[in-house]
A and B are shown apart, each in its own frame.
Chain A
Amino acid sequence: MSRSISEECNNLKKEYDACFNKWYSEKFLKGDCNPECDEIFAAYKECVLGAVKSKQIDKLLADARKEDPFARVASSDEKK
């Protein structure tokens, strides 16, 4: 497994990656696109975005997102 941007997020990343890889191979590629790892993803993402902020790359990311938006329809943020 690759590392996370911040050491404190490594365990959450590990858990998320394991969940994602299992879901991707066993469900998603077989046509079942119901998300399964939302809970662990929310915790992992919160940790990473905290690190992004403390490393002061949040502005770079925000600018890039303005230029090339991620979500054309909805993002996981908007579902909350």
Chain B
Amino acid sequence: MKIFTTSHIFRYPWTQVSAANWRKYPNENCPHVIAIDVIDQHVDPETGILRLERLITCKQNVPSFIRRLCGAASVTYAREISEIDPKNKVLKMTSWNLSLKHLVSVAETVVYSEDPEDSSRTCFTQEASIKCGESLERFANYIESFCVQRFHDNAQKGRQGFETVLERLRQSRAAMPAQETHD
């Protein structure tokens, strides 16, 4: 098993980051995400915590040699559960791959929380664990390293893509201060 971690500070308040999180796609920096659907939602009236379950549809995102080896489909699916605590200003998202689990299991947790030292900023952490299935144990090191590198590349692109979304929303707020935009 291999673990990938990264962190970043977004120079936007948590409320803006958490709202923009649901408007992140489509994103030219992350063309592999082709569809996102909410499949369950629940607000706990006592804690005020919102939970969302989403299904993510991705275009081929597996190494071509696995594709050759296993004839993997060109579309893969992932499941994500988000927990949003508006009082403590924490948004936590955990996702798992649904497809190809017998080959590789990937579990990723992303947390956006208000910077305790500066409420105009948001701390971001990402952790992914990648574990190769038993049938491919011989190639485990290669496959897991490949996936870690893929995570590294996608994390950078994803961050850039999200910065673009945040900036676009900031501009639209500045242009229409009295009006909310919902695109």
Question: Which residues of A does B touch, CB under 8 Å?
Answer: 1-5, 9, 13, 16-18, 20-22, 24-26, 28-29, 31, 33-35, 41, 44-45, 48-49, 52, 57, 60-61, 64, 68, 70-71, 73-77
Whether the Cβ atoms of B40 and A33 lie closer than 8 Å is no
Dominant SS among interface residues on chain A: helix
A9-B37, A71-B42 are known; give 4 further A-B pairs, CB within 8 A. Answer: A2-B36, A48-B38, A60-B98, A61-B98
Is residue B68 contacting chain A, with contact meaning CB distance below 8 A?
no
In which size bucket is the chain B interface? 35 or more
Whether the Cβ atoms of B98 and A64 lie closer than 8 Å is yes
Contacts of A22 in B (CB 8 A): 180, 182
Question: Which residues of B does A touch, CB under 8 Å?
Answer: 15, 18-19, 22-23, 25-26, 33-45, 48, 50-51, 53, 55, 57, 77, 79, 81, 84, 86-87, 94, 96, 98-99, 101, 180, 182-183
